[in-house]
Structure 1
Amino acid sequence: MSKALNFYEEEILKGEKKVNELNSIISKLSILRLIIMLLIVGAGYYFYKQENLLFMGAAIIIGFLIFIVVAFFHNKKINEKNYEEIFLAINKRGINRINGNFKEEDQGKEFINDDHNFTSDLDIFGRNSLFQMINSTKTKFGRNKLFEILSIKDKVSREEINKRQEAIKELGKKVKWRQNLEAQATLRKSGVKDVSDLIEWSKNSSPVKLWFKIVPYMFIALTVASIILVILRMLPVSYLILVFIINYAVVNVITKDLKSVINLFSSHKKDIEAFTNLLKLIEDENFESKLLKGLKEELKVEGTPSYKEMQGLKSLVDWIGDSSANAYYLLLNVTILSDAFILRNLEEWRMKNGKKLEVWLKIMGEFEALSSIANLDFDFESWSYPTIEDTDIVMGTKMAHPMLGERAVSNSFSLARVNGKYRKVALITGSNMSGKSTFLRTVGLNLVLSYIGAPTCSNKFSCGIFNIYTCMRTKDNLEESISSFYAEILRIKLLIEAAKNGEKVFFLLDEIFKGTNSKDRHEGAKVLINQLVNNKAMGLVSTHDLELCDLELTRPWLKNYNFQEHYENNNIKFDYKLREGRSETQNAVHLMKLAGIDFK
């Protein structure tokens, strides 16, 4: 059993035991609450019948105080149970990830883009995708950052990849911390809610006007003086009531924008609490890798941790939450103009921190995204971190598809300089369902893993830095009146333009030009491969066109590989093992017979 699997199973056993214990305590406390309430009613009724109002009042007050204490502990145990259940779910997802059973997880459907260079063809997002396998982000910022990393939106360098590898290795070891990060965000139910209005508010800061600082104190002084004069009976009580009415009018005038602020923060109260807790977790943790230390350093505000500034905002938000429909708060408002001070403090917070809020949340999101990728480091200890080379090379030893779990079959493969020959193209042939497309995705996915700083599903992997382009799944677009063949042509055009523009292209082409006749398909594929190599691109092409294999005789940069099948008791079998040379087998007729087509 792997270290990760053993960890998850032990945590699940401990978690289930804890949840059972908490369920027992919660049930007992529920019964105790009911008993206390019945005793309060019974005691109150008994002393009422005895006409002992003093004892009746005392019994009710003492009973309710005891009820409140028991209710406090009851709610505390419920929260503990919820927290334990979140950890249970996290550990169960870890086991599913290792076993390749993650189909029920979030697919990241909003990130599916058929026009992207490679994400759709390589199953980066969607069903059975890399995102679905690794994602443990719980905020919109983490989710968006993971999308950016997996899409390789920014051009990567060898130095950046190495720095990210170092960070992911470190986070891989901090499994408890990563789980706590995920649990805190889940517990506060921040989720992937849009907080763009909160970010917009934070950016629109302006200095607090001098009159706004002075006016509240003037009216407070007036109120205090009025109270003293009323107490000394130098003024009638009606005058004090008039002062309160004036104060109420003044506070409404100078805080006319407070209602929109209250609405804003009421909808984001839990988000702010979640962000505060997540930032505190990051600030309280010690990191050694350059990337993580650098990110953490950006969370400082003149030496003060960002979470402390967020705690200040949270306190103000709590005051706002307590202000609505509260008689005591109304009294404070007409006495010391509390709304004015809340609005002023919010403005001062915004002046100091407003432009930094989005930066903090993006850094928080980056920690979430890197923690998601670090799941691979912890879960798959047999995977290897790639070596990023300065040369154009792709080489994998016992390389497998990362999302297939135990079903994955490993193969060794290389495109590099071998015996004086510089191999730039691998031509993959084989019968239907033999594993050609899966192998192309295996190579592509391991390249993506390499560039995002993750370990690869291999014993050893080396590669240069390329821009990945794929043409594997092309679909009709009826709205645009585009056939699948023309969609394929458009995709090939993008690939050629990228190579001509000097991009370092690595291509993965699956059954190209399948929408035309065999002669055109053969000629088109041959010309395309030549053109791509002439523009310094390299990659893999799968095909059923065995005539293309003859290119190996005249193109020293091309190497033939194939997948085969065999038959047992008239049943077709595949071993999914990559072999050198062209395919010598066919299975289309056999498959058609299995489907019920009679060739007699």
Structure 2
Amino acid sequence: MEPIEFYHQRLDAIQTDLKSLKSRLRLLGSLRLLVFISIGLGVYFLFGQWQFVLAVIGVGIVAFLFLLNRYANVQRKYQFADALRKINETEIARSKGDLSGAETGNNFIFEEHDFNQDIDLFGEGSLFQWMDRTALTNGQKTLADWFNSNDISNIKEKQAAVQELKDWAEWRQEYTATAALIKSEMQSEDVNQWMQNHKAFVPKIHAWLPLVFSVISVLLISTYFIGLINGWFVAGWYLLGMAISGPYVKRITDVYNITSKIDDLLRQYAKLIEKIESANFTSARLKQWQKTVLTEGKTASSSLKELSREIDNLGNRNNLLFGFISNGLMLWDLRCTYRIEQWIKGFDGALEEWFIAAEKMDAMNSLANYAFNHPTYIYPQIATDEKMQLSAKSLGHPLLDPSKVITNDITLKHEDFFIITGANMAGKSTFLRTVAMNIVMANSGLPVCAEAFEYKPVKLISSMRTSDSLVNDESYFFSELKRLKYIVNKIQNDTYFIILDEILKGTNSVDKAEGSKKFVERLVKSKSTGLIATHDLSLCTLADKYSEIQNHYFDAEIVNDELFFDYRFKDGICQNMNASFLLRKMEIVEE
């Protein structure tokens, strides 16, 4: 089944469920109103017969609360189904090229980065914008961190995780829908930080005192109602409870103000972790993440639900009547706060690992979803030949329209450099970004846009979009020099695949030619590998001096006074340039 067909079928089924759930919500709402009216009528007609009135009110309240609970459960199901609807509608929209509402990831672009400002990894129409399906803020950050990491380890392990999760389309959607329902204004790191900084203040005696106090309260109230003791005993006991609770009110309120903000987050994370716990993963990476949430005895999800339950219990203090009675007769706030503090003491270190596992899975869903949406893409093979760096057949740019993209073959040995010349708009820069982006995708464990792709995993570094800086009072030329210095420093300590687009654009042609030659010679001597696009044909003479350098080009032809591009990667040096033709064609200059 094609991905788009899957999404349409899934959307149809979900919309049917939504209609059914909406009908149930209307019915339950009507029944709640009917019960409320029935209570009123019962009290009206039975007024004066207090035993019957109390019975009607009691039964009515029980029925109303039952319907309220059922309504809340159905409403949660409706919200979940609606989140699934949005997921499938998004996929259908993306298949049509609609990126509305998609995050650009601009906040993940850094000037001091090896490549991310150059290759359309982030920004409008970027790979990140097309791929990101994360529902957690930290899941999105994790996805961006993976792209930015330049990590070339465990490629096969990454691929296996993507391949496995790719086929779990419904599981992935349910996971994302669950994450999308988190409405907390706080993030997981805020929870971790608060728990790490929280100083327990409720004395250990409250492990048992609230229970004993509550039992005694029940006994005193019972004996009062049967007339064995005076009401002042109950009042005195109540005042004693308030006196015990009083000194802690401010600190308990501070705890509540924080925990009330994280309750929804904990509840939804518990559901995410429960899905991870129950999954039957086979790939090593997914099993490793699953291992972090599989605890001995009580599961991580049930532990989180337990904490959420205690936070809910503490939240009952918002009911003034309940809070007024329960703290005097049951030491309720002290009981709940003590249990929350004991939970923190036992699980705060593990909690961070659980959060991270859930956020990694959220990020992995985006990679797997991308693989699912591109069934024709292939997973790269790791080169066994030590001399081989990259060999690709029909390599295409993943962001271009598949029906229009022109693909090319490339074979590049380790420590070799290709100098690529060509006319303006002939495809040099696009080809550089095609190679760069597919390398980043391969390093991330993703399938790539090619018929065949074999490579030796390698870190990427580039200089393609250097700009001047008015803020830092830097000229364009100085910014170029800084970038080239950055690259030189990097390649001294590690092996990189270098991609450069037009070196030293910010100086005169003679100085540029001389400086560019010396820089390329330094790169060759560093044992690096890469691609260099240029209009400077003098650089091509370096191929006569260094066996590691090869010349390639993209061509343009003028046919019937029109410019024609074939965007094909060819061996040799470009002989046709088009700047003068374009100036005349656009009537910028005279014939």
Shared fold per TM-score greater than 0.5:
yes
Residues 367-407 of structure 1: CA deviation (Å, up to 9, x unaligned)? 11111111222111111111223635012111111122424
Q: 1:412 to 1:303 in 2, by over 3 A?
A: farther
Partner of 1:565: 556
1:242 aligned residue = 236
Aligned residues: 585
Deviations 1:77-102 (A, max 9, x none): 55444333322322233344455543
Partner residue in 2 for 1:287: 281
Match of 1:276 in 2: 270
Structure-1 residue corresponding to 2:527: 536
Q: Does 1:441 align with 2:433?
A: yes
In structure 2, the CA distance between the partners of 1:223 and 1:61, relative to structure 1 (3 Å rule), is: closer
Change (3 A) 1:589 1:95: farther
Q: 1:180 to 1:229 in 2, by over 3 A?
A: closer
Q: Structure 1: which amino acid aligns with 2:89?
A: K
Residue number among 183, 189, 192 corresponding to 1:196 in the alignment: 189
Whether the 8 Å CA contact 1:40–1:60 is kept in 2: the answer is no
Distance in 2 between residues matched to 1:233 and 1:478, nearest whole Å: 87
Gaps of 5+ in 1: 417-421
Whether the aligned pair in 2 keeps the contact of 1:181 and 1:278 (CA below 8 Å) is: yes
CA deviations over 1:531-557 (Å, ceiling 9, x no partner)? 011011110011111222222233221
Look up the equivalent residue of 1:313 and give its one-letter code: L
Alpha-carbon distance between aligned partners in 2 of 1:552 and 1:404, rounded to the nearest angstrom: 32
Match of 2:126 among 124, 129, 133: 129
Distance in 2 separating the partners of 1:56 and 1:404: 73
Residue 91 of structure 1, aligned match among 88, 91, 98: 88
- Aligned partner of 1:451 in structure 2 is 443
Which residue in 2 is equivalent to 1:556?
547
Corresponding residue number in structure 1 for 2:583? 592
Residue of structure 1 in register with 2:344 after alignment:
350
Gap change, CA 1:450 and 1:190, over 3 Å in 2: farther
Question: Equivalent residue for 1:523?
Answer: 514
Match of 1:429 in 2: 421
List aligned pairs for 1:287-326, cutoff 5 A.
287-326=281-320
Amino acid at match of 1:399: L
Match of 2:10 in 1: 11
Please report how far the alpha carbon of residue 74 of structure 1 lies from its aligned counterpart in structure 2 after TM superposition. Answer: 6.0
* Cα drift, residue 275 of structure 1: 0.6
1: CA distance, partners of 2:315 / 2:190? 18
* 1:110-157 CA distance string (max 9 Å, x none): 21212211111122222222221211211133122212211126x432
Partner of 1:139: 136
Q: 1:411 to 1:423 in 2, by over 3 A?
A: farther
- After superposition, the Cα gap between the structure-2 partners of 1:587 and 1:59, relative to the gap in structure 1 and judged at 3 Å, is farther
Contact 2:558 2:564 in 1 (8 A): yes
CA RMSD of aligned residues (A): 3.2
Q: Which residue of 2 aligns with 1:462?
A: 454
Q: Is the 8 A contact 2:238 2:328 kept in 1?
A: yes
Q: Which whole-Å CA distance do the structure 2 matches of 1:219 and 1:444 have between them? A: 69
1:107 maps to 2:104: yes
Residues 184-223 of structure 1 mapped to structure 2, 5 A cutoff: 184-190=178-184, 193-204=186-197, 209-213=203-207, 215-216=209-210, 219-220=213-214, 223=217
- Quick one: structure 1 residues 254 and 598, their matched pair in 2 at CA, closer, same or farther if it must change by over 3 Å? closer
Hey, what's the Cα distance between the residues in 2 that align with 1:215 and 1:88? 50
Measured in 1, the distance between the counterparts of 2:21 and 2:207 equals 51
Matches of 2:397 and 2:379, distance apart in 1: 15
Contact persistence 1:36–1:63 (CA under 8 A)? no
**Is 1:491 the counterpart of 2:487 in the alignment?**
no
Question: The residue matched to 1:117 in structure 2 has which SS?
Answer: coil
Q: Which amino acid aligns with 2:544?
A: L
Partner of 1:364: 358
Q: Which residue is equivalent to 1:339?
A: 333
**How far apart in 1 are the matches of 2:499 and 2:526?**
16
Q: Residues of 2 paired with 1:309 and 1:70: CA distance?
A: 28
Give how far 1:226 is off.
4.7
Give, as a single letter, the amino acid of the residue that structure 1 aligns with 2:5.
Answer: N
Distance 1:585 1:103, change over 3 A: farther
Q: CA deviation at 1:173?
A: 0.9
Structure 2 equivalent of residue 419 of structure 1? none
SS in 2 for 1:470: strand
In 1: Cα distance, 2:297 partner to 2:26 partner: 47
Aligned mates of 1:20, 1:408 — CA distance in 2: 42
Distance of 2:253 and 2:63 partners within structure 1: 38
Q: Percent identity?
A: 28
1:237 shift after superposition: 1.4
TM-score, scaled relative to structure 1? 0.88
Q: Provide the rounded CA distance (Å) in 1 between the counterparts of 2:338 and 2:480.
A: 60
Distance 1:20 1:576, change over 3 A: farther
Give the superposition deviation at 1:296.
Answer: 0.7
| Structure 1 residues 172-218: Cα deviation after superposition (integer angstroms, max 9, x where no partner) | 11111111110011123358x43433112322467875444465466
Structure 1 residue 477 and structure 2 residue 457: aligned?
no
Long gaps (5+) in structure 2 = none
CA distance in 1, matches of 2:525, 2:492: 9
Q: Mean Cα displacement is larger for which, 217-226 or 140-149?
A: 217-226
